[in-house]
Chains A and B, each alone.
Chain A
Amino acid sequence: MTDVLGIYNYWIYVLLMMIGLYGVIAKPNLIKQAIALGLFQTGIFLYYISMAVIDGGTAPIWTTIEHGAQKFQGPYDNPLPHVLILTAIVVSVSVLAVALALIINIKRQYGTIEADEIEAMDLADKARDYVRGQVVDAADDAETKLEGRHHV
């Protein structure tokens, strides 16, 4: 039982991550997907920061007392995951910005930001191309046949 109490904090990060992942998969709206991706990443951040916690710890910032000397104030939380997550947060906001730029472009070009509608439009494009190709092919074949007959 103590084990569960000891690690339940890690489970909440899993929960947050999975809420995000569910959003990414289940929501057809692209903005929702981008936001959900952010949630997903925050879950990971929570994991890293939980990793840094130490019993009875305090912020890993030494207090300066006079003449630049520093006072030790009991165990400090681990600064390493903090540093890593600072980097990761920056990365996640960059990804969000690029995703939003892409979404705006998609809205401009497709007129919608629902993934299923876009998918349908892409399929329609493909079908149109295919049919156009078939028509051109048929016309070419007919032309060749005509030319052949002409030569004969």
Chain B
Amino acid sequence: MFEIEANLPVLVVTVPLIGGILTILMGRGKGPWAWATLITGVVFYFTWRLMQAVLASKTGMISYELGNWPRQWGIEYRVDALNAFILLTVAGVSFVTTLYAQKSVEKEIPQDRHNFFYAVWVLAVCGLLGITVTGDAFNVYVLLEISSLTVYALIAMGKDINRQALTASLRYLILGSVGASFILLGIGYLMMVTGTLNMQDIHDRLVAMPDAVHNRTVLVAFAFLLVGLGMKMALFPLHMWLPRAYTFAPSAVSALLSATATKVGVYMAFRFLFTIFGVGFSFVAMPAHIVLSACACTGILVTGVTAVRQTNLKRLLAYSSVGQLGYIVAGFALANVHGVAGSVVHIFNHAVMKGGMFMAAGAIMYRVGRCDLRAIRGLGKRMPLTMAAFVLGGLGLVGFPLTAGFISKWYLVQGALQAPHMWPVAAVVLVGSLLAVAYTWRVVEAAYFQEPEGESATVTEAPLSMVAPMWILIGASIYFGINATFTGEISMRAAKSLLGGAP
């Protein structure tokens, strides 16, 4: 009767949904946390199974029709190599982040609402996974709103440490809602000319339309979707909400968001640009590649310079995230196999590295109580494991050989050199790495070459429950830097299927 194997795509989303709601009942103390860890762990397991299933399937794609309605009428879940990989990334990082969250949340969130906090946390993961797995344009909007609403609440929970968390959250709420409305509008315009909501169906209809490139409705839909997605994935110059949000959110939340939320935004861009509109429309007929790579390159440079000037560690990482997102966007804007593969693999690599670095920042926050450059002076001796993790993550951002960052940059540069007239992207990637060296060095200098002072002088290493997850992620970033067969193969496969038209 019931087989897990046949229902994997939907289990990935419904398990965290039901689990998230049940979190409310888990009482106080460690109950909610343990439950959330269990749920995210189970989800991680399912995404792993799903990945295997996708790789094993002949078509390279698994389709699941919800309620058994034919996909053109109902809602379809459609998993290919790209989804499966992003699902695995999101679920894996959320699992490790949940493991990590316990101590940090205990300190930063009032005790009596841990059950609600973890409920929202698990629902955020549910929303992000749901966006990634769905093949229906409107379903994307609904799940996008779930993930956004939960994220607004999670960010605002930093209010007890710094009141600016509230303004950051509200600003994100307003910008995010405007962005989501633009997406809704774009979907509406597409629905008007195609009469359907299924992504594949929309694509078929657009292809069948002889003059889609000159259809004004389709053009406006494309533009508004691009702007809306840009806001959601914090593409420069629409990133204004991100640095504050990541800086003032509770540490665990920053780690979760940086590793998952914007990544899923990028994934949506993949789906809309490649699956719905198609490569021919987005990158040949429309100048999306020029616009996107211009935004991305400017973003890499500007945020790199800004990051160098930051004194708050979390803010520094936030700006760096916007810059790293630039690499991802620049990669798929190249629209060739290596570029897209670099982009996909960087989604994973960046999630792992930045997650680990935000965890390190959180550990410092936990011990010292703040995380500006002054606070970390001399911490290289007092918290050796944490600082080492941070520095290794930073090396990854730089793209140092034998780290995961190197792999993605390798692909990106290759892609940039292959594409016609796109060599400036390669140059920007290199300059961006130099900027990453600069801001990582500032941390290294403070942590290892300055004497501890004030409260930093007496701190000890962060508890094991924080250091271990941090090192899992950083270790993964090193492992996948040395042995990139798995990630490389999957992302090449995803890139080929994206560029080949049909997913």
Contact = CB atoms under 8 A, between A and B. Distances in A.
Interface of A: 21, 24, 30, 33-34, 37, 40-41, 44, 47-48, 51, 80-81, 84, 87-88, 91, 94-95, 98-99, 102-103, 105-106, 109-110, 118, 122, 125, 133, 136-137, 140
Q: How large is the interface on B (under 10, 10 to 19, 20 to 34, 35 or more residues)?
A: 20 to 34
A48 B159 contact: no
> Which secondary structure characterizes the binding site on chain B?
helix
Contacts of A105: 156, 159, 166
A34 B152 CA distance: 14
B30 interface: no
21 contacts: A30-B170, A40-B178, A44-B181, A44-B188, A51-B192, A80-B197, A87-B138, A88-B184, A95-B177, A98-B149, A98-B152, A99-B174, A102-B169, A103-B170, A106-B170, A109-B159, A109-B163, A110-B167, A118-B167, A122-B167, A133-B311
A91 B142 contact: yes
A140 B453 contact: yes
A30 B159 CA distance: 18
> Which secondary structure characterizes the binding site on chain A?
helix
B142 A87 contact: yes
Interface string B328-341: 00000000000000
Nearest to A10: B192
A27 to B, nearest CB: 11
B468 interface: no
Given A51-B192, A95-B177, A102-B156, 19 more contacts: A37-B174, A40-B181, A47-B185, A84-B138, A87-B142, A95-B149, A98-B153, A99-B173, A102-B169, A102-B170, A102-B173, A105-B156, A106-B163, A106-B166, A106-B167, A106-B170, A122-B164, A133-B311, A136-B374
B295 interface: no
A144 to B, nearest CB: 8
B201 to A, nearest CB: 13
Contacts of A48: 188
Nearest to A97: B149
A140 B184 CA distance: 55
Residue of A47, A98, A106, A125 ringed by the most chain B CB atoms within 10 A: A98
B171 to A, nearest CB: 9
B149 A94 contact: yes
Contacts of B177: 37, 41, 95
Contacts of A110: 163, 167
Contacts of A47: 185, 188
Contact of B178 (A37, A81, A137): A37
A99 B170 contact: yes
Contacts of B149: 94-95, 98
Contacts of B76: none
A36 B303 CA distance: 31
Contact of B191 (A24, A51, A106): A51
B145 interface: yes
Residue of B174, B191, B192, B453 ringed by the most chain A CB atoms within 10 A: B174
A21 to B, nearest CB: 7
A44 B185 CA distance: 7
Nearest to B172: A102
Contacts of A137: 374
A98 B173 contact: yes
A120 to B, nearest CB: 12
A105 to B, nearest CB: 5
Residue of B164, B167, B197, B453 ringed by the most chain A CB atoms within 10 A: B167
B152 A24 contact: no
B365 to A, nearest CB: 15
B3 to A, nearest CB: 31
A91 B149 CA distance: 9
B372 interface: yes
A99 B86 CA distance: 30
Contact of B374 (A40, A81, A103, A133): A133
B174 A33 contact: yes
B432 to A, nearest CB: 27
B72 to A, nearest CB: 12
